[in-house]
Chains A and B, each alone.
Chain A
Amino acid sequence: MTTPEPGNEPAAERTGPVRVFLVDDHALFRTGVRAELDAAGDRRVTVVGEAGSVNEAVAGIGHLKPDVVLLDVHMPDGGGAEVLRRARLSRPDVVFLALSVSDAAEDVIAVIRAGARGYVTKTISGRDLVAAVCRVADGDAVFSPRLAGFVLDAFADRPGAAPISDPELDLLTPRERDVLRLLARGYAYKEIASELFISIKTVETHVSSVLRKTQLSNRYELSRWAADRRLV
C-alpha cells in the first residue's frame, strides 16, 4: 500500500549487526538495556553508544550514525520528542524506537507523531526487544498492544470526533483495523498473518500504513485529547 519513507529503505545491504544508540536519563536503566541486548542480541544487535540528556543524544547520534535509536519518552529538557526533532535535522536516516514506562496516550502518540517508528513498553523481554529493533531497522513499524489500542481509540468514530478532512489519512481501512485489533490482542506478526490468511510482509505493510496515518492525520489532536483535557 505504501512504501517506507525514503531514507528508511530496508537495509538489505547492511552487513553486520544493527548499531543501536540508547537514550535514557537513567544510567541504571541504560546499563540494564545494554546487558539485555548483549545477552539476547545474538550478534544481530550491538550497542554503539548511549546518552543521558537531550544534548548528549543529539551530539552522539550525529557523531556515531547509529541505525536505531532507543528513545526514552520522558526526559528533562523536552523528552524524546525533542531528541527526535533535533536529531532528524542532521540525520534523517536514523530510525527511532520509543521505549517507555509511560502509559499516557498523549505522550506515546506525541513521540510517534514526532517521527518514531514504534513504541514498546519497558517491560518487554530482551528477545522481543531485539526483534523490535531489527524490525524498525528494516524500515517496518513496531506496535505494542498498547499502542495499537491507543491508535484504534484515536481513529474510532465517536460522537464529537473531529470531522474527516482527508479520508485517505483520517480513516483506517477495515483490514488495517483487523490487524490493529489482533496486535492489541497480543498477536505476533506471524500469528496475525496466519489468522488473516495474508503474508507477514502484508501485515508489515498495513502496520506501516497505520503508522503513517497516525503521524500525518490531524483528526487525532483535534478530537479526543483536547476534549479530554478540556482544552477546547
Chain B
Amino acid sequence: MFTRGGAGSVPDDLPARTCDHQGVTLQPHGPAAERAARPAPGPEVIGPVGAPSAAPPAVPSGGKAAVPSGGKAAMPPDGEVAEPAKLVRRRTGRVLAGVSGGVADHLGVDVLWVRAALTIFAGLGGAGVLAYGLLWVFLPQAKPDAPAIETTPRERQQAIGLVAVGAGLALASGALGGSAGAWITGPLGVALVGAAVVWREADESQRRRLRSGTGTLFEGRVGLIRVLAGVVLVAGGLAIFLLGSVDLGQVQFGLLAVVATLVGVAVITVPWWLKLMRDLGEERRVRIRTQEREDIAAHLHDSVLQTLALIQKQADAPREVKRLARRQERELRNWLYEDKGHGRTSAEAAAGDDTPRTLAAALASAAAEVEDTYAVSVQSVVVGDVPLDASIVALVQAAREAMVNAAKHAGVGEVSLYVEVEPEVVHVFVRDRGAGFDPEAVSADRHGLADSIHGRMERNGGKVRLRTAPGDGTEVQLEMPLKVAAVKEAKA
C-alpha cells in the first residue's frame, strides 16, 4: 500500500545520492573503468627490464597478423591484404621509444631488421641516430587501447645490444672520420642521451596519466630522478661542447642569455600550463560523471524498467506482482546501498562473485530466497557481522529453515528476522505473529524442526529455543557460539 510510484521515485533520488558519495565512488570507479576500457593491460615496461613473458608470445612482434590497429585496420571487402598500420610509436613491447617497433609494424617486417638497419645507419656519420630521434619526435604514440605486444627476453637483449652497438658506431664514426671531430660528437652524444631519458620519462608519465586518470607530468620520485638525470646529462653535454669550442667569457654570456630566455618562456607560458591542468581536471570529472550516469541508466533499464514491464503484463496476478516488486526492490536497494560503503567492494562486484562470504550476506540471500519462494516479506535486522565458517553456515541453514516454516505454516505475510553478533556468540531470532502451534502435538514424522533446526544446531554446538502457542505466533531462537572467541580464550 505504501510503496512509492516506482519509476518516478528512483531517478529523483539517484542524482543526489551519487553526488553525495562522489568523493567516495570516484576511486573504485576510475581504475575499474579504465581497466574495462582496455582489453589487455599488457606487461609493464616501466620497472624491471626483461619483463617476464609468462604469457605465450601468441603475437609475433611485427607480423602482419599482429598489426596494432592505430585507427582503421579493416580488411577490405575483397579480403586481399590488410591495410598497413598507421605509422605510430609502440606503447608496449618496446625498448627505447617504440620507434623501431612502430616502423616494423608499419612495414610489416620483423622488428629486428629495422633495428639492425638503424644500427648500420648510425655508423654512417650518426644518420641512424638522427633518424631515430626525428621519428621519436614526430611520430605519435599508439592509442592506449592498442593490443599489447609481448617481447621475449631474448628479443630485448638483442635490441639493447643493437642500441649499444649503434651508439658506439655513431660515436666512433663521428670521432674518426667526421669533419666535426670528437669534441663535438662526444658531448653532443651525451646531451642526446640525456634528452632521450627525459623524453622517455615524458612518454611514461603520459601513459600513466591515461591509465589512472591522475598524476602530473613527472610522477613519483623515480620519475623525478630520471628527469633530473636527463637534464643534467643534456646540460653537461652542452656545457662541455660550449667549453670546448668557445672561450669562457662568451660561455658566461651565453649561459646568462639562455637562462634569461628560459625564465621568460616559463613566465609567458604559465597561464597556458594552468589552463592545461584545469582542462585535464575538468575533462576527467566530466568523463567520470558521464560514466556514472551511463552506469545508472543501464542498471535502471536492465532492472527497473524490465520489472515494470513484467508487472504490467501480470497485473491480474497480485501474488506474482508482489513477488516481482519485492525482488526488484531488494535488488535496487542492494545496488544503491550495499556496494558503496560497507559490504562488497566494487572489485568483488565486478568479478561477479555472488557467493556470500559473511553471515549477514548469507542470511540476506536466504531471506531473499524465502521471500521469492513463499511470497512473504522478511523484515530483517542484522547487527554486526562475522565471516562464514562451518558452524555459521549451519546457523544460516537453520535460520532459513525457520523462515521457511514461518512462511509455510504461520499464515501471515510477514516474518521478522533479527540477528545480533556479539563477541562470543551469535543470536538469531525468527519470529512471526501467525498461527503458532503446540510443540508437544507435532507428530514424530515431521522432521523439519527436529532435523533441520535442532539437529543442525546441536551438531555444531548451538542451542535452539522455541516460543510458541496456538494462536500466539512463533519465535525460533538460535544461539551459536563463535569459534573465534574460543580460540582467543584458549590462547589467553
**Interface residues of A, Cβ cutoff 8 Å to B:** 25-26, 28-29, 32-33, 36, 74, 76, 79, 101, 103-104, 122-126, 129, 145-146, 148-149, 152-153, 156, 158, 181, 184-186, 225, 228-231
A153 and B4 contacting across the interface, CB-CB below 8 Å = no
B367 to chain A, nearest CB (A): 14
Partner of A33 from B2, B12, B382 at Cβ < 8 Å: B2
B312 part of interface (Cβ distance < 8 Å): no
Partner of A122 from B2, B24, B336, B416 at Cβ < 8 Å: B2
B420 and A25 contacting across the interface, CB-CB below 8 Å = no
Q: How far is the CA of A44 from the CA of B153 in the complex (A)?
A: 84
B16 and A153 contacting across the interface, CB-CB below 8 Å = no
Q: How far is the CA of A152 from the CA of B9 in the complex (A)?
A: 30
A186 and B4 contacting across the interface, CB-CB below 8 Å = no
Helix, strand, loop or mixed for chain B's interface?
mixed
Q: Which 4 A-B pairs have the closest CB atoms?
A: A186-B416, A149-B381, A185-B418, A28-B5
A101 and B381 contacting across the interface, CB-CB below 8 Å = no
Q: How far is the CA of A146 from the CA of B380 in the complex (A)?
A: 8
Residues of A within 8 A of B445 (CB): none
B2 and A36 contacting across the interface, CB-CB below 8 Å = yes
Q: How far is the CA of A104 from the CA of B5 in the complex (A)?
A: 20
Residues of B within 8 A of A129 (CB): 2
Residues of B within 8 A of A29 (CB): 2, 4-5, 9
B2 and A74 contacting across the interface, CB-CB below 8 Å = no
Q: Can you name the residue of chain A whose Cβ is closest to the Cβ of B27? A: A230
B1 and A32 contacting across the interface, CB-CB below 8 Å = yes
Residues of B within 8 A of A145 (CB): 379, 381, 416, 418
Q: How far is the CA of A33 from the CA of B420 in the complex (A)?
A: 33
B13 and A74 contacting across the interface, CB-CB below 8 Å = yes
**Interface residues of B, Cβ cutoff 8 Å to A:** 1-5, 8-9, 12-13, 16, 21, 24, 333, 336-337, 341-342, 377, 379, 381-384, 416, 418, 420, 429, 431, 475
Residues of B within 8 A of A148 (CB): 381
Residues of B within 8 A of A181 (CB): 418, 420
B478 to chain A, nearest CB (A): 12
Q: How far is the CA of A25 from the CA of B206 in the complex (A)?
A: 47
B341 and A149 contacting across the interface, CB-CB below 8 Å = no
29 A-B contacts (beta carbon < 8 Å): A26-B8, A26-B9, A28-B5, A29-B5, A32-B2, A33-B2, A36-B1, A36-B2, A104-B337, A122-B3, A123-B2, A123-B3, A129-B2, A145-B416, A145-B418, A146-B379, A148-B381, A152-B420, A153-B383, A181-B420, A184-B418, A184-B420, A185-B381, A185-B431, A185-B475, A186-B379, A186-B431, A229-B24, A229-B341
A184 and B381 contacting across the interface, CB-CB below 8 Å = yes
A186 to chain B, nearest CB (A): 3
B333 and A184 contacting across the interface, CB-CB below 8 Å = no
B341 and A123 contacting across the interface, CB-CB below 8 Å = no
A26 and B383 contacting across the interface, CB-CB below 8 Å = no
Residues of B within 8 A of A36 (CB): 1-2
A101 and B418 contacting across the interface, CB-CB below 8 Å = no
Residues of A within 8 A of B420 (CB): 152, 181, 184
Residues of B within 8 A of A156 (CB): 383-384
Q: Can you name the residue of chain A whose Cβ is closest to the Cβ of B432? A: A186
Q: How far is the CA of A184 from the CA of B24 in the complex (A)?
A: 30
B26 to chain A, nearest CB (A): 12
Partner of B4 from A122, A185, A228, A229 at Cβ < 8 Å: A122
Residues of A within 8 A of B3 (CB): 101, 122-123
